[in-house]
Amino acid sequence: MTVEQVRSTSLWKGLDIVLGMAVMGTVGTLIGIVMDNGLLPVTAGVGLVLGGGIGFLGGRRFLISIMIGTVLGGALAWLLAGLDRIWVGAGAGAAMGGFLGVHISMLLDARAARKAENEQAAPSVVQP
């Protein structure tokens, strides 16, 4: 690996960690607000630690699916139930987004592994 590749990799790793801390820290903060303001520091802290861990492990697709689910769930709840229930829809959307994100990621990884296996198994034809 060259120095530029290492810098680029560490930059992306750092951005993934920051994204994870932002998404999961926000989720933890909102959970703390809903439960009780006394639990806010605990839930926000747990969200930050979990988000940093998810970002460190490379869960960018997972975090983006949570953000998309939050926005779509909140918008749907706003349209169907009104302004007072946006937070319920956003929470449900985030949960569904995370669930679907994990499964879509697993399917994409399985597809990539199958494709790599087929490319290795297929004999290569050399053109003269």
Give the domain ranges of the chain. Answer: 1-58, 60-120
The pTM (predicted TM-score) of the whole model is 0.73
Beta strands in the chain (DSSP E): none
pLDDT digit of tens for each residue in the chain (128 aa)? 676 666 667 888 899 999 999 988 988 888 888 787 788 899 999 999 999 999 999 888 888 898 899 899 999 999 999 998 888 888 888 889 989 988 888 898 899 999 988 888 766 556 66
Cβ contacts of 51 within 8 Å, gap of 6 or more = 17, 19, 20, 21, 22, 23, 24, 25, 63
**Around Cβ 93, how many Cβ atoms within 10 Å?**
22
For residue 34, give Cα distances in angstroms to 19, 46, 47, 49: 23, 15, 14, 20
Residue 74, judged by CB atoms within 10 A of its CB (0-12, 13-18, 19+), counts as: buried
**Around Cβ 112, how many Cβ atoms within 10 Å?**
10
Q: What is the pLDDT of residue 3?
A: 63
Q: What is the pLDDT of residue 125?
A: 59
